[in-house]
Structure 1
């Protein structure tokens, strides 16, 4: 049975071209890791004839302590060292223990950089007459510590034949350049070469790492084969990590029947490759090895996605406006107010305002569409929000911090604001990054200030800065126009229901129906929403409050943004499908539902007719004589790891706008705001003093 909503992903075993009838059939481990001891035993005892003097020579670069995972211990020490303990594994059935080449005496040059391991190496091998060198071999060919320089020093050169028997290189990263140095800059031509390659690289990849001692990348098998063939060496076998090469003439004399095919495909099968593939919507997926092999950390797909979730859609998909994503509430179509307002039938507008009012009266929140804002603008705005708040260097964001008032313009870093204070509560600071813009004015009002935009730098070029500003400004203009229509729709609904609210609400209707030639980018800038409205970009990501609950003991999890109400008129919100955070509203304002919250969910991806969250703020609630509740809401951690990005327009009045409140009091909007915030601070201080006492 298949779940239609879940992709089916499974492995099909490909037809292997790997031959198992060559040297790999002799694989056994004495101290080696993946059968190298057995392969070397067969090469030197069953195939290659012994040297005339009965002495064989090897060079082991990266010898470690001389025994742990060593490819030369069985040659140089073997059973003569009785204290060695051998583990049984897939390449060691016990028959290998105690075997040693009786036809030859081995002498070795063993090189190790680590001082502690070198002392162990020295104590094991110097009593046997082997040469031990404590050197960090350099990949730089002109260095005195290059492998060519070391081998050509008199103490080594006098005892090491040019065609010495075995070269083993295992230095975890720079192996390619050490072999390149020997084959290019010396006359040494070892009979057998064993060298480590990076097993996570596919067979068709030629990857040559930078020649830099401070970088440890490893080379691909194909790169080593290419290097070897340039110097008349052929690949004759591989294990998981190591490749074996022989000179071409020696291969033709002794190994051609045993290894008839020297291609990579015949001699190696990748088992640790990490594959990447793309889905039509731009999602990147992993296949194969899903961990960092040497760090033992999982590779998380979401951490290397090129597109945020809100932008993952197929660009050539048919223009379908419907969505199958489950959303939290019914969606109200407000196109009667946002499109063709002059010719729209009156009954359509009344029906629209009635539906919206019904939703808002219930719990202060509603979902709306039909604003006329293009889906592409919404997607671009979410994309730029993600780019600025999630991906940009922190220096780019901090260059936009306001000296005057971060709560109204520019960047506000994580953990610097506390929305709990808006309802007189005490709680930890909010874990969200914010960036704010709004209308600009030369007046002294704290509600109207210059915007602060990122300037070109080494982290953000001029093109990115310009795109960020143009997209955010375009969205601000468009959402303000939509907000004007939404406020007028709400106002009409309230007046239809209660004409007694006219004294409080008349200025809303009139301010939203004004016409003016003032424009920005060709868009009219009049109306309520362009006066003191602030557009806030918000970015959430996983952090300390996302710690998983203990399965035996449940702990309270602090919200990312504390429970609060908004201060102004309305808030219009758009967000992407990031799953590390979720917006919640209080179920209702009744005392019985206090502390009970419900998720507010928008569809994903952004549909062609975008859907927005609208919630009532404190001032409009007061002007409606509490007909519309200003509902407490919050943002809490979710189980996902994908960052969430939001754009929230907080609609406000002109600072000098007179407000006629329920009790008959008349105050300016700026005064009302200050009094509202001051009252919350007073409540907070009283609660703190009570808790201390």
Structure 2
């Protein structure tokens, strides 16, 4: 029997925590910090997973593995960093979970880091973990709903002109395209979530809405891979990896592109094997025809 909680148990737990939070926010923070620490350590000390979820892969996918990332991003990130010789890393990650994100696996090499998310709980939990386990690391965790207007000012508050950002991760399940479009800094590596349900050819995104909140399980989110690749190219970035779970794309800055095979996003577009092709086509048709979508030229 696993350790996953039943829905009834989860609801009861949430009710108790809500009650405690109303009575004593300080006690609430202590309780959720303790439980989050155990969950984090359980994740941290798990063995690497090498399961791939799609075909039509590239050579870089041979380096995939999952440890503290959501999917197999950990292995790809490690390969990229080794390839360009990164020893000390400056990073920004927008959208994260406290025990599972794209930056946890390289904490040991961090020079300066910035996490940003609108969830109070996630921020409390990750802050407490960093304070307890990484007290000497220069890593800030900021509670903020990021939009295209406050993005650059928040980064400027934490990174100076001479602080080159090595790794930048965007995963907000909605306005990802518009954040990348308005990003002023030029990190060496960009990891951004795309929505494979749009298919390989179309260039589109959900319309910009600073208050957009993704509905769990919905296909209506984010931007198509083709739109992000076109935008990245205009900004001087090239596609070098598509993680095999079909969630994240990795781009390298133009001055570093000769270290990697540049990927044709149409030729190597892929979908997860656990979704039948007829299901994908049906849901794609519904998404493109019945939802409000911004189409780009």
Q: 1:250 aligns with which of 239, 242, 256?
A: 256
- Give the aligned partner of residue 287 of structure 1: 278
Contact 1:201 1:273 (C-alpha < 8 Å) held by counterparts: no
Contact 1:109 1:133 (C-alpha < 8 Å) held by counterparts: yes
Q: 1:43 aligns with which of 62, 80, 84?
A: 80
CA distance in 1, matches of 2:257, 2:178: 24
CA distance in 2, matches of 1:233, 1:222: 13
CA shift digits 1:499-526 (9 cap, x unpaired) = xxxxxxxxxxxxxxxxxxxxxxxxxxxx
Partner-residue secondary structure (3-state), 1:30: coil
Query: Which ranges in structure 2 are unaligned for 5 or more consecutive residues?
Result: 1-53, 215-220, 291-297
CA distance in 1, matches of 2:57, 2:283: 29
Contact 1:200 1:274 (C-alpha < 8 Å) held by counterparts: no
| 1:134 pairs with 2:143 | yes
Q: Residues 28-427 of structure 1 correspond to what in structure 2 (within 5 A)?
A: 28-45=65-82, 47-50=83-86, 54-65=87-98, 67-68=99-100, 70-76=101-107, 104-126=109-131, 127=135, 128-139=137-148, 141=149, 146-153=150-157, 156-158=158-160, 161=163, 163-182=164-183, 186=184, 188-215=185-212, 216=214, 217-239=221-243, 240-252=246-258, 254-255=259-260, 259=261, 261-271=262-272, 287-289=278-280
Deviation at 1:274, TM superposition (A): 9.1
Partner-residue secondary structure (3-state), 1:223: helix
Query: Which ranges in structure 1 are unaligned for 5 or more consecutive residues?
Result: 1-15, 78-103, 276-285, 294-298, 305-693
CA distance in 1, matches of 2:225, 2:274: 12
Contact 1:272 1:289 (C-alpha < 8 Å) held by counterparts: no
Over 3 Å counting, the alpha-carbon distance change for 1:30 and 1:39 in structure 2 is same
Deviation at 1:209, TM superposition (A): 2.5
CA distance in 1, matches of 2:252, 2:265: 14
CA distance in 2, matches of 1:108, 1:200: 32
CA distance in 1, matches of 2:235, 2:90: 21
Q: CA RMSD in A?
A: 2.9
Over 3 Å counting, the alpha-carbon distance change for 1:203 and 1:147 in structure 2 is same
Higher relative contact order (CA 8 A, sep 6+): 2
CA distance in 2, matches of 1:38, 1:273: 21
TM-score (ref. length: structure 1): 0.30
Tell me which protein shows more helix as a share of its residues. 2
Deviation at 1:130, TM superposition (A): 0.7
Number of aligned residues: 220
Contact 1:62 1:171 (C-alpha < 8 Å) held by counterparts: yes
TM-score (ref. length: structure 2): 0.67
Over 3 Å counting, the alpha-carbon distance change for 1:211 and 1:71 in structure 2 is same
Deviation at 1:292, TM superposition (A): 7.2
